[in-house]
Amino acid sequence: MKDSLYRQPLKRRGFTLIELLIVMVIIGLLASLVAPKMFKKIGGAKQKTAKAQIALLGTALDSYRLDTDRYPTSEQGLEALRQKPEGLESWDGPYLPKDIPHDPWGNVYVYKCPGEHGDYDLSSYGADGQSGGDGDDKDINSWEN
């Protein structure tokens, strides 16, 4: 009776190490093909988001100007859209429902008034957070939208 227990074929209960390694290599190869394309789309989506936020901030700045007859100064900055500046009785804000957003890369938007390209300049310096650059580091400016 003992011999019959040892002679039964062992039931296969899992994968071998070789099978697991082959599957992991295949998954790695697929990921290496797909990941670069996805990262390119992420960069483009962040640039589109920055353009949309700059347009939204521009609309709020225009509403501010309609009420106060001027844009906020560079010193007042974009915070003037959320909090009433001192001595400005015609302010009828807040002009944005939420706090001033950071750009998609986590940097603050650069606001200058008077601007070099119009009444005001509003920019995101892109992924590197510095003026100039190409690709994901390219500046996104209000006067170029």
Residue 24 lies in a domain: no
CB 52 within 8 A of CB 103: no
Residue 38 lies in a domain: no
Q: Report the chain (145 residues): mean pLDDT per 10 consecutive residues.
A: 57 77 86 72 80 92 93 93 90 90 92 92 89 84 84
CB 84 within 8 A of CB 48: no
CB 83 within 8 A of CB 92: no
CA dihedral 29, 33, 35, 36 (to 10 degrees): 140
Question: How many domains would you assign to the chain?
Answer: 1
The predicted pLDDT at position 59 comes to: 92
**Cα separations (Å) of 137 from 63, 69, 128?**
30, 35, 5
Q: Distance (Å, rounded) from C-alpha 78 to C-alpha 122? A: 10
The predicted pLDDT at position 87 comes to: 86
The predicted pLDDT at position 3 comes to: 56
Residue 9 lies in a domain: no
The label of the residue with tokens 């227990």 reads: 5
Is the pTM value of this prediction over 0.85?
A: no
Residue 87 lies in a domain: yes
Residue 27 lies in a domain: no
Residue 108 lies in a domain: yes
Residue 29 lies in a domain: no
Domain with 69 in it: 45-145
CATH number of the domain where residue 114 is located: 3.30.700.10
